[in-house]
Structure 1
Amino acid sequence: MTDKINLLEPGKVIKPIIDHDGVKLLVERLYGISALELIELNGYDDKNYKIVEDPNVKNPLITNPSPHGYVLKIMNSMDSQNVDVVEAQNEIMNFLATRSVTCPKPVRNVYGHLHSIENINGKQHAVRLLEYVPGELLKNVPLSAALFYQLGEFVANLDNKLQNFNHSGLVSREHIWMLTTVPHLDKFKYVIKDSEKLDLAEEVIEEYKYAVVPRLDELEKGVIHGDVNEMNILVSPKPGSQSDYRITGILDFGDIQYSYYVFELAITMTYVMLITGDPRSGGLVLAGYTVNRLLPDHEYRLLKTLISSRLVQSLILGAYTLEQDPQNTYVTSTEKAKGWELLKKIRKSKPSADETDPTDWKTIANEYLTKS
């Protein structure tokens, strides 16, 4: 069964509504855990809480307690309707954990299940508990060309491993943050009040329709993470260094989908360029990616449109989310501050004669590889 008809519509509220006391009761009832400490983490339309277990309250249900605590995830009411997707998210984490990829691990509840459907404030929400994975987020450490290159390597390696992962629940999945749903943004673009920005957004959406949609059948497909950004990538200092970091793991599998590998690359490049404000940094990601995974020319030629589309998607849906939920911290930082400026740079880049086009990512990648 496809959930295509379940795409987010304007005015629909899907984020869970629950307070800290409700969360503590939930985690105690479902997992036997008494919360010593509870911290709400960022979440776009889900609720996420870091939980430190009270060591004085013995829990016979968990024989090997997570040393770093747990994350309780309460999924939005829309995605919670598709139980197959919830199961796929649990399975993909277990799949990658057995293949040397550091990521959260799901914990079974008192009923022996990896998730349950709970009635929260009158709506049905999928609830899961994951082991907390320690580490710094990419957004919180000094950025470097080497780190962006390594991110490209990491993502290509991730997708290579995911070639061997399949789940029936992902085949027909569609949600508003998938790049395949860019044409659906027409319903949300009313939130952009500035006419110049609206013109730019409409230009990108139309370009996606005629440049990407007719070529989708030519692109290689598989299961992808779908949301590789600076808040989902874990890093750790290299041995003996306080300022030199390496990629160590990945979080948040809420956007996994059966889609196109070039979309994974485009999304990763987009978020790196967002945190730097410089289109050239995308070339560093491309350099690392293409060392581990071939990118055919016909897919490379779509990158500019795909990256522009992801930016427009972030900007429109971010503005829509803030209209519905003004306190949503997930979308009040990087995208809002730099997104439109970056989009203009990508769409209207005109380098001088002695400069490299900042969106000529292949040349930038080759130059980096040559120097390295």
Structure 2
Amino acid sequence: MVIGGLDGGVVASTVASQQEGSRLKSRARRYTPTVVDHRPVLNLQQTTKLIQQLYGVTINEISTLPSYIDQNFLIVDKEDNKYVLKIMNSKESENATRLEVQTLTMSFLHQHGIPSQTAIPTTTGQLMSMEEIDCGHGAQTYCVRLMTYLPGKNIAECPVTLQDLYDVGKLAAVIDTTLQKLVSPNLDVLQQNDAIWSLSNIPLIEGYLSVMDGDPLQEVVKAVIKQFKSHVMPKTVSFREGIIHGDLNDWNIVVTPVGNGRHVVSGVLDFSLLVINCYVFELAITIAYMMLENPSPLDVGGAILAGWESIMVLSGDEKDSLFLLVLGRLCQSLVYGRYTAAKYPDNKEYIQITAQKGPQLLTKLWELGKKYVESKWFTDAGTFSDE
């Protein structure tokens, strides 16, 4: 369960609509408990006028889907080209520098062969425009971006192979090593040491544990936190760190089939949790979420781990912490998801999209234990090759 970030735009076709709906779910699953509603609510007439003014695009078709806190439209121009218009909520639009770094990062990765969305310049050459708009509750400033559209389906919706997951693990490491070359005077905005979703801040879950009262799984969460404090926190000082995507979940990776049951990644979405943090956190987050929709979740870790280590080999401390980091992310998702669902009951379906499988997976991994699961992951990793 992941809550918040930039969700995808809106598309007209059935397959594309499902893709964008999945991106919506990804955002809703990942939104932080402290968020305030600052949603833009432009109508189609306002949006059409805005696009024509900013981009000079002649619209042939425009469609929309509800969004958790942003507003998103699919734009089809007269040449049948598709674009995604993203209008950010006014709260996140306040941090223009952070949005600029996210936009820069997407473009930088695209230039280096990573299939990420990129922003289309306005008629005056801007990649993002801060627009003051009155949506009926007073004028507020919203960040507006027209983005490229990425075809494909979310990996959560596809019966991927283990070799596909190997490729995902490799891609995660490629993204992070590529971002080592990113240059900007504003990278300090990616330092977020107090973020509740950071895997270095697992103990912050304790402040929300009341939402688990009466659930036996609360004891598992408490035990994970306790072991994290004693076994992982002392090691974090030795973890390598840099800029990471921070949310490579199964709804933020788009794939297309290439035959024989295999897929290729055709899109990496949602850079709203871009952060400077430990590289092993990226690996743990990816493993945790890729397990959720997989029919054989225990087989996932080894495949992703093998792909990751084909680019970036883990240190001893990182290897020894991986199991608890994966469990830590599952605990964050479970607890913060329940908290947010209680706070925003009208969005409960989106927020708790992984609620059915997350607790079951957490319970199973805890019962099997660190020694067994780690042994399987690292033994399985040795069976993969870089095809």
| TM-score, length basis structure 1 | 0.82
Written as runs of structure 1 = structure 2, the 5 A alignment for 1:246-261 is 246-261=264-279
- Cα distance in structure 2, aligned partners of 1:25 and 1:200: 53
Decide which of 152, 173, 176 is 1:135's aligned counterpart.
152
* 1:49 equivalenced with 2:67 (yes/no): no
Partner of 2:219: 199
Partner of 1:234, secondary structure, is strand
Moved more, 157-166 or 258-267: 157-166
Equivalent residue letter for 1:178: S
5+ residue gaps, structure 1: 1-7, 56-64
By relative contact order (CA 8 Å, sep 6+), the higher-ranking structure is 2
Partner of 1:61: none
Deviation for aligned residue 1:363: 1.5
Written as runs of structure 1 = structure 2, the 5 A alignment for 1:141-220 is 141-167=158-184, 168-169=186-187, 170-173=189-192, 175-220=195-240
Equivalent residue letter for 2:221: A
* 1:317 equivalenced with 2:340 (yes/no): no
* 1:18 equivalenced with 2:36 (yes/no): no
| TM-score, length basis structure 2 | 0.79
Deviation for aligned residue 1:266: 0.4
Could you report, residue by residue, the CA deviation over 1:256-288 in whole angstroms, capped at 9, with x for unpaired residues?
111111010001100111112623311111111
Contact in 2 for aligned 1:10/1:188 (Cα 8 Å): no
5+ residue gaps, structure 2: 1-30
Could you report, residue by residue, the CA deviation over 1:148-174 in whole angstroms, capped at 9, with x for unpaired residues?
111111112222211212443434235
- Cα distance in structure 1, aligned partners of 2:43 and 2:149: 18
* 1:365 equivalenced with 2:385 (yes/no): no
Deviation for aligned residue 1:337: 1.2
Partner of 2:255: 235
* 1:80 equivalenced with 2:93 (yes/no): yes
Could you report, residue by residue, the CA deviation over 1:202-257 in whole angstroms, capped at 9, with x for unpaired residues?
2223333333333322111111111101111121221xx27432223311111111
How has the CA–CA distance of structure 1 residues 16 and 28 changed in structure 2, closer, same or farther, with 3 Å as cutoff?
farther
Deviation for aligned residue 1:108: 2.2
Moved more, 252-261 or 315-324: 315-324
How has the CA–CA distance of structure 1 residues 11 and 178 changed in structure 2, closer, same or farther, with 3 Å as cutoff?
closer
* 1:37 equivalenced with 2:62 (yes/no): yes
Deviation for aligned residue 1:12: 4.4
Partner of 1:268: 286
Partner of 1:127, secondary structure, is strand
Contact in 1 for aligned 2:190/2:274 (Cα 8 Å): no
Equivalent residue letter for 2:230: Y
- Cα distance in structure 2, aligned partners of 1:243 and 1:20: 42
Moved more, 278-287 or 26-35: 26-35
- Cα distance in structure 1, aligned partners of 2:227 and 2:58: 52
Partner of 1:3: none
For the aligned residue pairs, the C-alpha RMSD in angstroms reads 2.9
* 1:226 equivalenced with 2:246 (yes/no): yes
Partner of 2:121: 108
- Cα distance in structure 2, aligned partners of 1:81 and 1:209: 35
How has the CA–CA distance of structure 1 residues 298 and 196 changed in structure 2, closer, same or farther, with 3 Å as cutoff?
same
Partner of 1:98: 111
How has the CA–CA distance of structure 1 residues 320 and 116 changed in structure 2, closer, same or farther, with 3 Å as cutoff?
farther
Moved more, 290-299 or 175-184: 175-184
Equivalent residue letter for 1:346: L
Aligned residues: 345
- Cα distance in structure 2, aligned partners of 1:111 and 1:326: 42
Partner of 1:276, secondary structure, is coil
